[in-house]
Amino acid sequence: MPKINGNEIRPGNVLEHNDGLWSAVKVEHVKPGKGGAFAQVELRNLRNGSKLNERFRSADKVERVRLEQKDQQFLYEDDGQLHFMDAETYEQIQLPADILGDRRPFLQDGMTITVEFYDAEALNATLPQKVTCTVVETEPVVKGQTAANSFKPAILDNGVKVMVPPFVGPDEAIVVNTETMEYAERA
């Protein structure tokens, strides 16, 4: 595994630190008036989700880990476990349902997601950036409401509430950005 200097850490890097695998969430480079510069890094443990703030000087060496990314197709959910299949090898894996966090409702039957592996251990799962959902319930359009930034609440077919533009009505298909969990466009 390649070693990198402390000032080369970027958000999204996976590091081996304190006998664990950590993902850099935020990186802030600080140059105080006295003393050497350092990187203030907020780390999140990939195995248990705990957070840690750490300072790395430019002379510090850390192990950067490369995770293998594989596309997996969602099959079904059973007892809090999500079952996926590798499209190339047809091998099936199980992941805990909480690996997707609050984005879990956007997972749909047959959807292909990206799972990151370290050796044979699945550490992270990422949904496609845009998912199509159907609006189940929303307020009716108010005539004359033409403010540029006016949005109204809507409930989607998966139970998630999002803010949509006034022209979107019930039973319409919309595209939702899974990273920001916001309306993106009409489908």
Return d(Cα 64, Cα 71) in angstroms, integer: 22
3-class secondary structure, 163 = strand
At 162 the pLDDT is 93
Return d(Cα 105, Cα 126) in angstroms, integer: 13
At 136 the pLDDT is 94
- The 8 Å CB, 24+ separation contacts for 142-145 are 142/166
pTM for the whole structure: 0.74
Cα dist. 128→77, 87, 125, 148 in Å?
A: 18, 16, 10, 29
Which is it for the CA torsion 120, 122, 124, 127, positive or negative?
A: positive
At 148 the pLDDT is 63
Return d(Cα 66, Cα 43) in angstroms, integer: 16
Element (H, E) at 134: strand 130-138
Which amino acid, one-letter code, is at 152?
K
At 1 the pLDDT is 66
At 166 the pLDDT is 86
Provide block-wise average pLDDT over 10 residues at a time, the chain (187 residues).
Answer: 86 88 89 89 87 91 91 92 91 87 89 90 87 91 67 92 90 91 89
**HEC per residue, 2-21:** CEEEHHHCCCCCEEEECCEE
Return d(Cα 178, Cα 126) in angstroms, integer: 9
